[in-house]
Amino acid sequence: MSWLVVITEHAIVVIDAFALVTVVIGTVEAFVATLRGVVRPLERESRWHMYANYGRWLVAGLTFQLAADILETTITTTWQAVARLGAVAAIRTFLNYFLEHDLRVAREQRQPGETP
C-alpha cells in the first residue's frame, strides 16, 4: 500500500504544478492585456473579454488545485487537509458561478445578429 502513497504524493506535486502554471499564464496574459489597455484604451467589449478570459484561466487553475487536494485527502486524515479542500471547492464554485452568470448576461445584452 505504501507504493500507492508514493505515487499519489508525486501526482499531487505534478497537478499542483499544473495549477501554478495555469494561473501564472492567465495572469501574465491579463497583465499584458491590461498594459495594452493603458497605452491604447480598450472598448468595453474588449475589457469584458479580457476579464472573462482571465476568469477562465483562474477557474482552470483552481480545478487543478481541487484535483490535487482531493488526492491529498486520500492519503491524509487531518482536518486541515479537509478544510483546504472545502475552501478551494467553495472558491472555485463561486468563481465559476459568477463567471458563467456574467457570460450569460453579456450574451443576452448582445444584439440578435452579432457573433458571440
* Domain membership flag for residue 114: no
Domain that holds residue 37: 2-109
Residue 111 pLDDT grade (very low, low, confident, very high; cuts 50, 70, 90): low
Distance, CA of 116 to CA of 92 (rounded, Å): 25
Q: Which three cell numbers stand for residue 10?
A: 508525486
pLDDT 10s digits, 49-99 = 888 888 889 888 988 988 888 888 888 778 888 888 888 888 888 887 887
* Domain membership flag for residue 116: no
User: What's the pTM value of the predicted model, to 2 decimals?
Assistant: 0.76
Distance, CA of 103 to CA of 113 (rounded, Å): 17
- Report the domain count for the chain: 1
* Domain membership flag for residue 39: yes
Which comes out higher in pLDDT, residue 28 or 46? 28
